[in-house]
């Protein structure tokens, strides 16, 4: 397979369906929606995902929001990676993270799934943890036994402004990742 070094795959993790819209667990979808809005393009229903293509300074950025639900995110990622012959180092996955403070970003070249089912699925399908991930902090302000409700819950009114700012920073981090590489993006946004 002849891999394309100028093509990138950006995967925003989330769940499809109205009940999941604007929830903490769907921040990957929200970040990609903001990127699409900034670049004035729209997602279309496609195979295993909603997708769009952005061209930016000679680079092709394929953005997908898997329609497989969180636990099967790896299936969608693998299909798109293989279809467009994208190198693993040109993949960036955006996911929510309970361990980070609200709207804090952490970009890494690789890492564990940290209990995140979407990342777990990707790790299993790729047989590797060697792909970049942009974790978006959702905080951990929940009572014992309420983690699932918190993660699948909507943002509090008091969180909306910080989340909007975090999403804007995440969009900028994605563009820098594509244009200048993971190290430069990590330096600026971590």
- pLDDT per position in the chain (190 positions), as tens? 566 689 999 999 999 999 999 999 999 999 999 999 999 999 999 999 999 999 999 999 999 999 999 999 999 999 999 999 999 999 999 999 999 999 999 999 999 999 999 999 999 999 999 999 999 999 998 989 899 999 999 999 999 999 999 999 999 999 999 999 999 999 999 9
Give the C-alpha separation, 15 to 63, whole Å: 15
Query: Is 149 exposed, middle or buried (CB count within 10 Å of its CB: 0-12, 13-18, 19+)?
Result: exposed
CATH 3.40.50.1470 fits domain 7-189: yes
Tokens of residue 4, six digits: 């394309």
Give the C-alpha separation, 118 to 173, whole Å: 21
What is the reported pTM?
Answer: 0.96
* Domain spans in the chain, listed from the N-terminal domain onward: 7-189
Give the C-alpha separation, 136 to 25, whole Å: 10
Q: Known catalytic residues?
A: 25
| Element containing residue 61 per DSSP (H, E) | strand 59-66
Calculate the CA 69 to chain-centre distance: 13
């Amino acid at each position: 397979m002849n891999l394309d070094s100028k093509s990138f795959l950006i995967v925003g993790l989330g769940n499809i369906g109205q009940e999941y819209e604007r929830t903490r667990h769907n921040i990957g979808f929200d970040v990609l929606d903001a990127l699409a809005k900034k670049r004035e393009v729209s997602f279309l229903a496609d195979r295993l995902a909603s997708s769009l293509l952005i061209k930016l300074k000679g680079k092709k950025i394929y953005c997908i929001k898997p329609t497989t639900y969180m636990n099967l995110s790896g299936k969608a990622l693998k299909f798109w990676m293989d279809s467009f012959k994208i190198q693993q180092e040109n993949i960036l996955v955006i996911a929510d993270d309970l361990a980070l403070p609200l709207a804090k970003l952490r970009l890494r070249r690789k890492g564990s799934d940290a209990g995140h089912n979407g990342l777990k699925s990707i790790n299993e399908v790729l047989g590797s943890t060697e792909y970049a991930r942009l974790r978006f902090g959702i905080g951990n302000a929940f009572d014992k036994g309420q983690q699932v409700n918190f993660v699948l819950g909507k943002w509090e009114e008091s969180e909306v402004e910080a989340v909007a700012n975090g999403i804007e920073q995440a969009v900028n981090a994605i563009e820098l990742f594509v244009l200048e590489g993971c190290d430069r993006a990590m330096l600026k946004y971590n």
